[in-house]
Amino acid sequence: MSSTQGAHSLAFRVMRLCRPALQVDLGLRVDPVDLICGEDDVQKLVENHGDVEDSKDKTSFYRRAELEDPIDALGLSGILVLPQTFGSIYLGETFCSYISVGNHTNHDVRDVGVKAELQTERQKLILADSTKAPLDYIKAGGRYDFIIEHDIKELGQHTLVCIAVYTDSDGERKYLPQYFKFLATNPLSVRTKVRMVKDTTYLEACIENNTRSHLFLDNVKFDPAPPFVVKILEPDTEAKDDLDGLLSGLFNQVKLVRANGGTRHFLYQLTAPPPDPGVAKIPVTNALGKLELLWRTTLGEPGRLQTQQILGNPVPRKEVSLEIAELPSRIILERPFLVRVTVNNSTDHRVGPLQISMSQEDAQGVKRAIVVNGLWSLIVPQLEPSGSTDFNLSLVATAIGVQRIIGIRVVDVRDGKVFDILSPTEVFVEPE
């Protein structure tokens, strides 16, 4: 790509550096002989030798509609071609460009300072700058070349600004800016679904290819947010005895994402380990983590993207919450047992005093199967901001089998405000 200014001695030419692509010619096989020998020459060969099929002079013009080898059906000619324009530039790729500033006059120019900067909607980056140490001169018909590289991290319009400051043959100091614009688009779309099953979160990620060429995923890594531990759930890719099994296993290992909307699916299981009493408690949020995608194009050019924080279901925030920290390994009928309960203050101010109580009957007046052994309530002093405290609650079971600990709540002693009611917890009660 080039741009010129009529009143200037210098002009910039910009070419994107990238790996060449294979020329695909569907239906016709291109032969290098075609570049030397024209179709008229083939007609002369037919006239002189009769049946060209029996001679050694077989050219692609004559056999252009025939497949001489099974691989010809792929349409790959073996010829490598470079893009004629900047082509498609995608987020996560490295933009590499060859810049040449040439003197197209018959006179030398002196004290040439060259600068290249990339402008986006958010920032301006200087990629090359020789203005502080300018070139002594560029001869008539000569040029100065250099290469720039930049990792594309923003979507949208990009402007490559090439600037030359020089002294022309008349001794006049001149300033030449030239602008080259290109658009960076997203090569991949990531769609996610979040499902909750009890205390386990399942995250499904669908990765869609928005480009016109195949992409090969090198790695799809999920970086979980604390306190989650992640496990990837994938279908069995072990090779089988039959050919289909071998091919399908290879296909899954390669992780090909087909062009124009091809997709790949990944499933992750996120679990939160039980809290460690010796470690500071991590605030509960709905942030699950980030996906990091590494891929390559058909000719091996790399790309890398990282998604924004993936959010799960909103976590309701309670000022004061109750949770069971520890249960006994065995619960025997009509034998008292201790349950360790934690009270958490999630606010930035002190709360309390608090009253912890447990109702002995349900709303219909039916006595519960697990009741308090002793005092039915206790007082917890004030809790510091983001503080917590543990206490032991003595309970006793009056029925065997699977029973529920229910009816424990925490209220403000001063105004009777109910902060939290403990979620029902199932336990198994053994006979004596």
Check which CATH number belongs to the domain holding 127 and give it.
2.60.40.10
Higher pLDDT, 35 or 218: 218
For the chain, what is the mean pLDDT? 77
What pLDDT score was predicted for residue 323?
80
Answer yes or no: is pLDDT of 241 > 50.
Answer: no
The predicted pLDDT at position 6 comes to 47
Instruction: Read off the pLDDT band of 400 (50, 70, 90).
Output: confident
pLDDT, residue 15, reads: 86
CATH number at residue 243: 2.60.40.1230
**Is 120 found in the same domain as 8?**
yes
Q: Specify whether 303 is located in the same domain as 210.
A: yes
Query: What does the alpha-carbon distance between residue 172 and residue 192 come to, in Å, rounded to a whole number?
Result: 61
Same domain, 147 and 219: no
Supply the pLDDT for residue 251: 56
Looking at per-residue confidence, does 238 or 173 come out higher?
A: 173
Question: 200 and 302: one domain?
Answer: yes
Task: Place 257 in a pLDDT band, splitting at 50, 70 and 90.
Answer: confident
Higher-pLDDT residue of 326, 241: 326
CA 43 to chain centre: 57
237 and 279: one domain?
A: yes
**Of 81, 103, 130, which closes a domain?**
81
Kindly state whether residues 334 and 409 are assigned to the same domain.
yes
Q: Are residues 362 and 407 in the same domain?
A: yes
Question: What is the arithmetic mean of pLDDT over 147-164?
Answer: 92
Final residue of a domain: which of 165, 185, 205?
185
Report the distance separating Cα 90 and Cα 21, nearest Å: 16
> Do residues 203 and 220 share a domain?
yes
The per-residue pLDDT for range 102-127, each reduced to its tens digit, is 998 899 999 999 999 999 988 999 99
Q: Domain range holding 199?
A: 188-311
Q: In this predicted structure, which of 2-11, 34-43, 278-287, 422-431 has the lowest mean pLDDT?
A: 34-43
Structure confidence by residue, pLDDT tens digits, 62-88:
455 555 666 565 555 666 666 666 667
Mean pLDDT of 361-378: 72
The model's pTM is: 0.56
Last residue of one domain, picked from the residues 311, 333, 361: 311
In a shared domain, residues 59 and 177: no
CB 80 within 8 A of CB 23: yes
For residues 130 and 7, membership in a common domain is answered with yes
State the total domains in the chain.
4
Residues 12 and 141 in one domain: yes
**Judgement on whether residues 108 and 162 belong to the same structural domain of the protein:** yes
**Cα 58–63–68 angle (5° rounding)?**
90
**Mean pLDDT: which of 77-81, 251-255, 354-358, 359-363 is highest?**
354-358
